Amino acid sequence: MKLLKEKILNEGVALSDTVLKVDHFLNHQIDPVLMAEIGKAFKERFTTQKITKILTLESSGIAPSVMAGLEFGVPVVFARKRKSLTLSEGLLTADVYSYTKQETNSIAVADKFLSSGDSVLIIDDFLANGEAAHALVDIVRQAGADTAGIGIVIEKSFQPGGEKLRSAGHRVESLARISSLSDGRIEFLSEVEA
């Protein structure tokens, strides 16, 4: 997605070999016009799929998901992050290990919002090690619903998440795939590879 890649090159910062900061337009300040384009791009990528619901994770997944929800004409559900879960009645939960923070958190979705007839598009802002996406897939499975696809805004394809999810048979569509952040330089997979 050309507009997204331009934004990443112009406003993103490679903080290290693995960390890309995009707080100017995606996860602190948000560019609504870009989000609307991202919503359309997800619709194009999954246009042949039957989608009944979009599932994402607070907070940075919400903006692109709501724009996609508008394109697909389906509700968006966002999983909540919790330090620990004492009460889980009526909740579908899964654990997410954060390599950045080196801690495990729970994510939770009210079970009333996912049912066995649902065909779910999972959307998230980043895909790195795939921990969050894997937890969302697990929540969809617990609901007896079907994961129709996984839509990612920015995939760091030099980390194993994308490969793991694709090997497991998931259709993963990433709007920008980054091949390297070495030496402060942001490089994308070539269009042929992507």
Does 67 bind a copy of itself (CB under 8 A)? Our answer is yes
Binding of a copy of itself by 3 (CB under 8 A): no
Looking at residue 144, the DSSP 8-state letter turns out to be T
Residue 21 binds a copy of itself (CB under 8 A): no
Considering only residues 15, 19, 75, 160, which one is a binding residue for a copy of itself as defined by CB under 8 A?
75
Q: Is residue 6 near a copy of itself by the rule CB under 8 A?
A: no
Tell which residue, 161, 172, 170, has the closest CA to residue 194: 172
Tell me if 33 contacts a copy of itself by CB under 8 A: yes
Distance of closest approach, residue 169 Cβ to a copy of itself, in angstroms: 27
Inter-residue contact 55 to 137 (CB < 8 Å): no
What does the alpha-carbon distance between residue 169 and residue 151 come to, in Å, rounded to a whole number?
A: 14
Alpha-carbon gap, residue 102 to 179, rounded angstroms: 24
Spatial distance between the Cα atoms of 152 and 35, rounded to a whole number of angstroms:
12
**Nearest distance from C-beta of residue 119 to a copy of itself, angstroms:** 16
The whole-angstrom separation of Cα 165 and Cα 128 is 11
> By CB under 8 A, is residue 188 in contact with a copy of itself?
no
Interacting residue ranges for a copy of itself, rule: CB under 8 A: 23, 25, 28-33, 35-36, 58-59, 62-63, 65-67, 69-70, 73-78, 80, 109-110, 113
